[in-house]
Amino acid sequence: MRIFFLLILNLYSFLIFGYQAKPYDFPKPVDTTSKPINTPDREVKELRGVSFDNSFDGARINGLSVADTSFIIRMMPENEPINYSPWYAFKLWSKKDTVVHIVMDYSKFKYGQRYWPKLSNDGVNWTRLDESNFSYIGDSLRVRLTLSLSDQPLWVSAQEIQNSEMVSVWAQEIAAIGGAQFKAIGKTTLGRDIPMLEYVAGKKKPTIIVLSRQHPPEVTGYLAMKSFLERIFEVEDELSLEFLKNYNVLVFPLMNPDGVDLGHWRHNADGVDLNRDWAYYNQPETRQVADYIVNFAEEKKSDIVLGLDFHSTFKDIYYTNVDSLVSALPEFTSAWITNIKLRVEDSEAKVSASGIGPPVSKTWFYTQFNAVGITYEIGDDTPRDLINVKGEVSAEEMMKLLLNK
């Protein structure tokens, strides 16, 4: 009778909630329960005839004041502890043409500048600030920018701004070209859509998973993912067509919409690093994405064979699982990385393999599905044309290997 009751209960749970990702006791657990965050005021503020705009999605400054001839911008993370990835983005303009000095002050945080300032006149096209207009002050916890202003807004940002609206526009364009479906699989804590692209080759076809932007500032990884996906969905190409006949593709291009739009350094709106939440899925983003993947695999009777998670760090690097974690594609990782390096000029990316440690996505793919898991990191300052090439080549070499070409 008890067994019958449990079977009925399990069936009811499935009908209501669907399949759910299995919890896994990783050897190095991380507390991913929600934590308080600080959220700067979103406003346009004028000082001495210069206006500062902190109101758009992706913006972040934590305080603004004037000292002598400089404007002081205070920089603080959403909460701590946090890794070294200080994000900033703002717009400014002046009633009359002028040159201003901006001091970015990190003194309340133990780290200084990480991302070299990028400038834009339209929020779309970006250039690096000239070195002659940048200097460190004292202990390097403060830096000075010299900027020429007019009555037209000048955007200043740690990296190119790619907020949730921009990501959705791109994803919908790719879906229209490549025959994928664009949709939201759920909501974040603050009610933003969690977007995805779903391409279905058919039932019992194997599936690859692509993730990006678990960490908001990691724009270079996102740029690599864009060119990677654009190559896969190049539907007039023979290699792409054959691949899309044989593989399902699930893409989650913006795992952390709240964090991105709030200008967070690392975490989501609940103050948590999403790439440490792949054990118990305490956060809505990881829970919904993990469950969606599991449900898809069950409903399509599909094997998840590969999970690629695009990130950014100081230099290009591939974080892989150690060879002793024998996956469904045991030879894939080394062959893929080798082939990329043979084709990409100036490809000096390192490879770092590790076993099952903290609950990150690359080992979740293995523990949940016995799939290959790779964290694909792009350097903060990797040239953007090289990022595009690496993304395209990575897609081509993946498709060739998975098609045994």
**Cβ distance 255 to 212 under 8 Å?**
yes
164-178 vs 219-232: helix crossing angle, rounded to 10: 10
CATH number at residue 138: 2.60.40.3120
Q: What are phi and psi of 144, to 5 degrees?
A: -115, 130
Q: Are both 188 and 317 inside the same structural domain?
A: yes
Q: Are both 142 and 167 inside the same structural domain?
A: no
Contacts of 35 (CB under 8 A, 6+ apart): 79, 270, 271, 272
Q: Is 331 helix (H, G, I), strand (E, B) or coil?
A: coil
Residues 379-402 as b/e (b if ≥16 CB within 10 A, e otherwise) read bbebeeebbbbbbbbbbbbbbbbb
| Domain annotation covers residue 311 | yes
Ranges of the chain whose pLDDT falls below 70: 1-17
Q: Are both 364 and 351 inside the same structural domain?
A: yes
| Domain annotation covers residue 92 | yes
First-to-last alpha carbon distance for the chain, in angstroms, is: 54
CA-to-CA separations, 154 to 75, 91, 143, 259, 358, in angstroms, rounded: 19, 5, 18, 23, 41
What is the rounded CA–CA span in Å between residue 368 and residue 212?
Answer: 19
Q: Where among 111, 136, 157 does a domain terminate?
A: 157
Q: Where among 93, 128, 157 does a domain terminate?
A: 157
pLDDT at position 399, please? 98
| Domain annotation covers residue 343 | yes
* pTM, 2 dp: 0.94
Q: Are both 279 and 320 inside the same structural domain?
A: yes
* CB atoms inside a 10 Å sphere around CB 47: 13
DSSP string for residues in 94-129:
ESS-EEEEEEEE-TTSS----SPPEEESSSSS-EEP
Q: Is 139 exposed, middle or buried (0-12, 13-18, 19+ CB in 10 A)?
A: exposed
What is the rounded CA–CA span in Å between residue 233 and residue 176?
Answer: 10
Q: Are both 390 and 374 inside the same structural domain?
A: yes
Q: Are both 56 and 177 inside the same structural domain?
A: no
| Domain annotation covers residue 4 | no
| Domain annotation covers residue 2 | no
Q: Are both 193 and 97 inside the same structural domain?
A: no
pLDDT at position 250, please? 98
What is the rounded CA–CA span in Å between residue 262 and residue 248?
Answer: 33
Gyration radius from the chain CA atoms:
22
**Cβ distance 323 to 353 under 8 Å?**
yes
Q: Are both 281 and 302 inside the same structural domain?
A: yes
CA-to-CA separations, 346 to 61, 212, 226, 315, 380, in angstroms, rounded: 36, 24, 20, 13, 16
Q: Are both 136 and 170 inside the same structural domain?
A: no
Q: Are both 191 and 336 inside the same structural domain?
A: yes
Q: Are both 225 and 368 inside the same structural domain?
A: yes
pLDDT at position 156, please? 98
| Domain annotation covers residue 294 | yes
Number of structural domains (the chain) is 2
Contacts of 185 (CB under 8 A, 6+ apart): 194, 195, 196, 252, 288, 289, 292
What is the rounded CA–CA span in Å between residue 362 and residue 319?
Answer: 8
Q: Are both 124 and 205 inside the same structural domain?
A: no
CATH number at residue 323: 3.40.630.10
| Domain annotation covers residue 392 | yes
Beta bridge partners, 199, equal 249
CA nearest neighbour of 252 among 280, 293, 223:
293
| Domain annotation covers residue 8 | no
Map tokens 């991913």 to a residue: 32
Contacts of 302 (CB under 8 A, 6+ apart): 203, 204, 205, 206, 207, 248, 296
DSSP string for residues in 155-200:
EEESS----HHHHHHHHHHHHHHHTPEEEEEEE-TTS-EEEEEEE-
Q: Where among 108, 129, 157 does a domain terminate?
A: 157
* CB atoms inside a 10 Å sphere around CB 157: 24
Q: What are phi and psi of 261, to 5 degrees?
A: -70, -25
At 72-108, the pLDDT tens digits run: 999 999 999 999 999 999 999 999 999 999 999 998 8
Domain encompassing residue 144: 44-75+83-157
